Structure 1
Amino acid sequence: MASLKALKIRIGSVKSTQKITKAMKMVAAAKLRRAQDAAVAGRPYAERLGAVLQSLASRVTVSESSPRLLAGTGRDQVQLLVVATSERGLAGAFNTNIVRAARRTAQTLEAQGKTVRFYLAGKKGRVLRRFYPDAILHDADLSAIKTPGFDDARAIADDLVRRYDAGEFDVAHLFYARFVSALVQEPTQVQLIPVESAAPSPTSASATSQSGADAAVEYEPDEEAILTDLLPRNLAVQLFRAMQENQASFFGAQMNAMDNATRNAGDMIKRLSIQYNRTRQAAITTELVEIISGAEAL
């Protein structure tokens, strides 16, 4: 049985930990609001831009003169998985869920005979080095970024385009956590390169026609010229959105993790306090018995 001194030290240690986790929960809750507003505000633009590009892509006849980000390389052998995680931990299963989704997709692609490469954006994604030590194409250092900006996303997008033009991969997929609520963060996968053409269903086509959005549109310049300018921009926008969603999801997950840790610390303090009181009472009882026994012996 632990001594009274050891129990007292342990109770003090758990109380100190509880203060830290409680403070981290309050900080995460304060940052969550701003990050959530930024993520929600950025969704309409990113979604609309993606829809416009898909619509344009569906109207363009792919040829040798088409932008490579639209036409692709003509192959799908080398698949690049862009894994966006956080730079810090203490957020429950936030990073683990993103990495697990990427690994699951990698295993599926490898089973199909594809070559898988990884582009890491976030320190916590480096755990993939343990499973795929020779498949890491690049590890972007985001440690200096406190709040993601569009320039940070554009730098990654430019690097991806450069590597794509160099023939380092054929298809790129992005993995991140979509913010649903403070309690729910949904691992999400989207195809970044090449842009997928929209394939509307009869129902959506009918709705579009009724709304008048399917009317004849004359582009100046032509569709391919517009796509040449918008495709790299869309890539940066989608990456920026993923970074914003990740940050909001991270603070939500961290707030919940620290809340659970604070409650668990409180439960542990109660159990240790009961054990301490029982041990102390047992020691007092033993001393009283010894005193009484000694007195009777006299």
Structure 2
Amino acid sequence: MPNLKAIRKRITSVKATQKITRAMKMVAGARLNRAQQRILALRPYALKTQEVLQSVADSMREHAEDEAAKVDPHDPDELFHPLLEYRPEKKVLYVVMTGDRGLCGGFNANVNKATDRERKERESGERAAEAEFVTIGRKGREYLQRRGATVAQDFPGLYDGLNLEKARQVTHFIVSNFENGTYDAVYLVYNEFKSAISQKTTVDQLLPIPKSSEKADKNDKNDKNDKSDALKAEFLYEPNPRALLERLVPMYMDISIYRALLETQAGFFGAQMTAMDAATRNAKDVIARLSLAYNRARQAAITTELMEIIGGAEALKE
């Protein structure tokens, strides 16, 4: 027969856990609202900055190819910016963004798995290259350290009071090491915020600044190219293309890192709120099952006692 005292103790424990998960859900929900507002406000600006920069860079690349002219870094009218330079990927840097805490479902695990998959492909695949990592978030750092990966730099506590200045700390490290040739390419690995219950694990090329992507569908691709060509024909560069790139590229880098950090932060709060909501509902179900088991055990104990009393009374009559 189940121990009534043990069941009561278990019910009390689960109720205490339910209070904690309910409070964490409310806190995560409040933080999610603020984080969601910030990323939804920044995302259109970040995407438009990327679109303009890629369009200008593509236009200049095509012009250089058409003219078959060698890029002269001292000519202000030529396309030249070190962050646009493509070179063989012998050493690659991955910027891995996870949360500092757990209790958020598969949020951190999804980024860690994607990072590990990229690392293994770099080590043994066709794109064989040495991979190093920059970690933002304790969970990603601990995961990579346990697997013996090379963590070149860690940025702890970046999500506390997150702003553009903190994002520039990461940008400075990345840009300086790419320009001096330490790394040949830089990729971002993070969770893109879709909704409170949905985050998409994303691996984006950050450096060198990628060319504009094309649609898989041929008709859509042709329409896009026609519109893009028409748009490129209207560009006027003042004072010159190089000066424009020198202004656009740092802006693009800062905004890209800042956007990825905000995406990660909003995604973490959404995942945590969803996980704590599920935990609260599970605790309610557990309490209901334990209460039913407690009532049944109590009723069985009462029935047994009654049977013993009745049996004793009958024995006395005899």
Amino acid at match of 1:45: Y
The two structures have a TM-score, normalised by structure 1, of: 0.92
**Quick one: distance in 2 between partners of 1:110 and 1:168?**
18
Structure 2 match to 1:41: 41
**Quick one: distance in 1 between partners of 2:48 and 2:91?**
29
Give how far 1:124 is off.
1.4
Structure 2 match to 1:11: 11
RMSD over equivalenced CA pairs, Å:
1.9
Give how far 1:216 is off.
4.0
Query: Which of 111, 115, 118 lines up with 1:105 in the alignment?
Result: 118
Give how far 1:155 is off.
0.9
CA contact (8 A) 1:14 1:269 kept: yes
Paired residue secondary structure (1:276) = helix
Give how far 1:283 is off.
1.5
Structure 1 match to 2:223: 203
Give how far 1:217 is off.
2.9
Q: How does 1:202-281 map to 2 (within 5 A)?
A: 202-209=222-229, 213-281=231-299
Structure 1 match to 2:192: 178
Which protein is bigger by CA-based radius of gyration? 2
Paired residue secondary structure (2:231) = coil
Q: In the TM superposition, what whole-angstrom CA distance separates every residue of 1:204-261 from its partner, at most 9, and x where no partner exists?
A: 121235xx52334331232223223322221111010011111111111111111100
**Quick one: distance in 2 between partners of 1:220 and 1:185?**
40
Give how far 1:199 is off.
5.7
CA contact (8 A) 2:55 2:232 kept: no
Paired residue secondary structure (2:188) = strand
Query: Which of 88, 107, 116 lines up with 1:94 in the alignment?
Result: 107
Q: How does 1:33-182 map to 2 (within 5 A)?
A: 33-58=33-58, 59-60=60-61, 61=64, 63=71, 65=73, 66-72=80-86, 74-112=87-125, 113-126=128-141, 127-131=143-147, 133-142=148-157, 145-182=159-196
**Quick one: distance in 2 between partners of 1:86 and 1:153?**
16
Q: In the TM superposition, what whole-angstrom CA distance separates every residue of 1:75-94 from its partner, at most 9, and x where no partner exists?
A: 20111111111112111111
Structure 2 match to 1:295: 313
**Quick one: distance in 2 between partners of 1:63 and 1:90?**
52
Paired residue secondary structure (2:103) = coil
- Aligned-residue sequence identity (percent) comes to 43
Paired residue secondary structure (2:153) = strand
Aligned residues: 293
CA contact (8 A) 1:84 1:121 kept: yes
**Quick one: distance in 2 between partners of 1:125 and 1:2?**
44
Gap runs ≥5 in structure 1? none
Give how far 1:64 is off.
6.3
The two structures have a TM-score, normalised by structure 2, of: 0.86
Amino acid at match of 1:193: L
CA contact (8 A) 1:178 1:249 kept: yes
Closer, same or farther in 2 for the Cα pair 1:198/1:262, shift >3 Å?
A: same
